Chains A and B, each alone.
Chain A
Amino acid sequence: MKNYTLLPFNFTRLLGKEVLVNELGDMLITPIGTANKIVEHSINNEELYKSLVANFFISEELLPSLLDIYASRLRLKKSFLDDRTALHIFVLTLRCNQNCIYCQASSREEGSKHCSMTYKMMEQSVHLMFRSHSPSLTMEFQGGEPSLEPTLIKYGIELAEEINQKECRDISYVLCTNCRNLTDDLLELCKRYHVLISTSLDGPSYIHNKNRGREDSYEKTIAGIQKARMILGDEAVSALMTTSELALDYPKEIVDEYVQDGFTDIFLRALNPYGLASENENWEYYNERFVAFYKAALDYIIYLNKQGTFFREVYASIILRKMLTPYTTGFVDLQSPAGTVNSVLIYNYDGYVYASDESRMLAENGDYTFRLGKISDKYEDIVYGEKVRNMGKIWANEALAGCSDCPVKAYCGADPVRHHSTQGDMYGFRPSSFVCKKNKAIIEYLISLLIERGDEVMPIFRSWLR
């Protein structure tokens, strides 16, 4: 073994192995004691030594000849930064026709007034969206229940289409709806502009209806999904679930519900501490139970895949893409620098631009920390303003205490908004951070699956990432 120098990496111990991860997110599973041997120059396993060199953990040259390749690969991992904001969320209204127990968006009664976006605001928002340089733009309609404002949706899409005749961006549209109010007219509009439907389905009727506060919610949602699929095609309809406390006891039943409804994936999402959900009392207990729920559901999903049913868990797929491939994802909650502003901007019904979906939810509780400016303000004043510059100091986990030396930081992200709302401090204190605890538990669980059941799970994971 030759003389070598160390390249930056972190490590952790799991299941009797030492897991080394470098700055590119490349991972090596090695025997316990490897990190120490690297430091002491006492590696005696030739194949391990070769793997360490080949995978950029140590270098046989003082200045690695392949540093440019390392840089090129790092650039690919951070390519979500190349083009600025791609996801633009338009919160059309707070009005809603449901009454979800964990509502994250402080919705109001269907007949409420003064809580919808004006046409003028829509016009200014669409113009702001086009100020982003991103060659692909996603215009996402949220609420409340955005389908209660169909003419505003139509106006927004048609304006975007008109501007895009000159701009020539690749625009996609997403309508986040509970599917109760998908009229023929609205679906016709969706068909014309290839609008994707993103709906919420929490599981079987006894969970969904309880969560959604209506006896007929499950029935209506399923009927809406079927109607939308018929008109727009199966591929155009996707669903998200939110894990209420009730749901924690039913991992298998929830997955079965999705399979039975013809979905090929599920996104197992934890509750977040906004809106009504923050009245949920014992967060520590909920978090622990969520992680157990997630593991049970994921194990069941792996079992289904082994039986020949292709079915994907989206959160795991996002992490695994960062862990096992040279690529990255556009998922805003697990990015460093954070997805706030860099990958997402919110145009809210109240006439203001916010840094993220969570930011506008905070505003409903009187916290305007992440209100970046008025929709009528200049683009530069919004995205290069003082608030964003201050967030910029603490939105890279490579430079945060408690993150920078974390072995799995390459698969995680920075979340100033969440830390502000849960800890009263954007910087955040990792030892007591629930978001840290949850992400770390899930990431480490995925790694432990690779260690213990690699041959079994890898073909499945690869199929999810294709």
Chain B
Amino acid sequence: MSDAVRCTGRDIRKEFDRRSVFRGVSFAVERGETLLVTGRNGSGKSTLVKIICGVLSPTAGGVTLEVNGATSPDARLHAGLVAPYLQMFEEFSPLENLQIASGLRGMPFDRSRAAGLLERVGLAARLHDPVRTFSSGMKQRVKYAFALLHEPRLLVLDEPTANLDDEGIAVARGIMAEQRRRGALVVATNDPGDVETFERSVDLNAAG
């Protein structure tokens, strides 16, 4: 995939119950680049991540996602999210979760691609076990497969190595490197070790 992609945030402000989380946040990230979002606990990293993915409306300002020069009306179509607060459907197996993800997005289910993704994140031996029987690290791996299934132009990672062991961290780094080649990457973290290189950054401590 070699589509051009550009995600732009302009003067974003978010308030909850009149309490300002951040204001004046602007950024741009395009194919081949990583946007690093940092800030102390409660500075609004996860809130900004949800706004970028199109599942939370900002109080003011906005985010636009352009694919091949055309603005997408729905960021959801092109974004993939991995985050600790994102939950899988735990009564289903990882393979069933990917089947559900595929169907929810209106895509036909490609079983071999789904199995390949789960193998890549190290879950080949547990394809048919319910996710509720998984450890938190294994659930994090399922989230990577879930986010990558539709080949997102924009991959958004909130605390990308949370709960992962060394092998899982290596897998996550491989996915980040690959995403930079085929699209754009947004990483929200407080751990400097999560991101090896980044081109753009937003510090939410300065936007409170």
Chain B associates with chain A: no
Interface of A with B (CB < 8 Å)? none
Interface of B with A (CB < 8 Å)? none
